[in-house]
Amino acid sequence: MKLAILGAGPGGYVAAIKAAQLGAQVTIIEEGEVGGTCLNWGCIPTKSFVASIELLAKARRLEEFGIELKGEIVPSISKIIERKNKIVITQIKGIKGLFKSWGITLKKGRGFLVSPKEIVVTSKNGSQEKVEADTIIIATGSRPAQIPLFPFDGKKILSSDDALNLDIPKSLLIIGAGAIGCEFACIYKELGSEVSIVEMLPRAIATEDLEISELFERELKKKNIKLYTNVKVEKIDVRNDGIHAFLSDRREILAEKILVSIGRAFNSDNIGLEVIGINKGNHGEIIVNEKLETTIPGVYAIGDVIGGFLLAHVASREGITAARNVMGGDEKIDYRSVPAAIFTSPEIASVGLREHQALEEGIKVKTGHFQFRALSKSHALGEITGFVKVVSDKASDRILGVHIIGPHASEIIHEGALAIKTGLKTRDIIETIHVHPTLSEVLMEAAGDVHGGAIHVPKR
């Protein structure tokens, strides 16, 4: 089996390795750097920033932890970026090393499908080469979406890509209070920028459970990050004193820079889809069936470019499934148990149904809550903000959703993902002994609270 993969992000590179493991002869084509958005512009760079920022925030509390500081704490953005770059380069080398060990051929250049079995690769210097394959997987990903009225200029109007290599602005206006906008809001606020966020929807991180948004909005307030909801930026005016943003409610915000984080656009143009007749949806996403095959047999598509979750780990999972299907498998993905995390401070993570979704679907639910501040480990760590919410089916006691805001939410969520994937009940979590003292105890207690049986909650 000769397999060609277009795009070496977390979808494409994982598909390449899995297919090679299963015996395929794999060629992978990448215009930029391997690792895609995730490694070069997304997950990894931002999390390396977040690590610096968390340390900075903790360092500012040294006294509280009984440590005396003789001197000053001064973050250096250039060194934070330098560290980030080093991490990214190491990971790029890691992926290339894996390609080598599995005998995967990496072709640098832009790929264009000229037939369902041929991709023409144009390198930076203009030279062209044809890659022939029995099967093709398209994994071209997405890019930051822009606002037509004021497109990115990389200097004053920034995309999330630009925001990774920035001097600390005095003031930053973020358009869009989704995951990306809120992560950068926390990062730049800690670095000293004055941050405001404008959101069209009624609440920040509107994709999450309502109660999670409520608490997060209060945390923004505590940090002195201004959030304007139910409002749009209608016009901007770049003047000597900065950018004036005019909102739909007649308010005006003055900022040195604007970060636009309103969503992602699919990379489905100019790769030959029209030439071979692959169907796209209304937003440009490639349409695939449950097996991740496009409307052209033998051509698969995975990751951001097929829409849906737009998460690196979903792309990777799709990469594995597509690789297996290419090699004769007949698999589909269970999307009900996809966990997601937002690396704000505090962290947010969720899996499964939000309470309002369950209600919309007509499911009768019970919920349980538990506050991190009721755990001794939270106090020991000095991280007491946040809670866990468990949504369970009233009739069967099965866990339908887990929602976490608080320290290490992104690590704790997997117990919830496993519970939903395997159809566990809250009783199963309650009966599972959790290590004391850990933050993971929150989920056990929140599951207990579904039945009014959490231990560290006063009688109601």
Partner 1 sequence: MNPDDLKYHKEHTWVKVSNRKTVIGITHYAQEALGDIVYIDLPEVDINIEVNSEIGEIESTKATSSIISPVSGRVIEVNEELSGAPEIVNEDPYGKGWIAIIEIDDITELDDLMDASEYEKYVEEEAK
- Contact footprint for partner 1 (CB under 8 A): 218, 221-222, 371, 373-374, 379, 384-385
Report the nearest approach of partner 1 to the CB of residue 172 (Å): 22
* Region label for 248, one of left (φ > 0), alpha (ψ between -120 and 50) or beta (otherwise): alpha
Give the E-state strand segments of 157-316 in sequence order: 157-158, 171-175, 194-198, 226-228, 233-239, 242-247, 252-255, 257-260, 264-266, 299-301
Alpha-carbon distance of 399 to 417, in angstroms, equals 10
Contact 5, 12 (CB under 8 A): yes
Closest CA to 449 of 406, 394, 402, 389: 389
Toward partner 1, which CB reaches closer, 90 or 224? 224
Gyration radius from the chain CA atoms: 23
Report the nearest approach of partner 1 to the CB of residue 360 (Å): 25
Token readout for 209 is: 């459970």
Toward partner 1, which CB reaches closer, 145 or 210? 210
Report the nearest approach of partner 1 to the CB of residue 381 (Å): 13
**Residue 436 annotated to the active site:** yes
Toward partner 1, which CB reaches closer, 58 or 373? 373
Contact 191, 54 (CB under 8 A): no
Catalytic pick from 434, 436, 451, 456? Answer: 436
Toward partner 1, which CB reaches closer, 145 or 384? 384
Alpha-carbon distance of 117 to 136, in angstroms, equals 7
Alpha-carbon distance of 369 to 27, in angstroms, equals 49
Q: Which residues, in sequence order, are bridge partners of residue 387?
A: 371, 405
Alpha-carbon distance of 353 to 359, in angstroms, equals 10
Q: Which residues, in sequence order, are bridge partners of residue 97?
A: none
Report the nearest approach of partner 1 to the CB of residue 218 (Å): 6
Single-letter residue type at 177: A
Q: Which residues, in sequence order, are bridge partners of residue 106?
A: 28
Toward partner 1, which CB reaches closer, 105 or 385? 385
Report the nearest approach of partner 1 to the CB of residue 428 (Å): 28
Contact 421, 317 (CB under 8 A): no
Report the nearest approach of partner 1 to the CB of residue 228 (Å): 14
Single-letter residue type at 226: K
CB atoms within 10 A of CB 86: 11
Maximal CA-CA distance, the chain? 74
Toward partner 1, which CB reaches closer, 94 or 202? 202
Report the nearest approach of partner 1 to the CB of residue 222 (Å): 6
Q: Which residues, in sequence order, are bridge partners of residue 27?
A: 4, 105
Toward partner 1, which CB reaches closer, 221 or 336? 221
Toward partner 1, which CB reaches closer, 112 or 370? 370
Contact 144, 231 (CB under 8 A): no
What is the torsional sign of CA 279, 283, 288, 290?
A: negative
Report the nearest approach of partner 1 to the CB of residue 255 (Å): 23
DSSP letter at 287? P
Taking each helix axis from N to C end, the angle separating 43-59 and 77-101, rounded to the nearest 10 degrees, works out to 140
Catalytic residues: 436
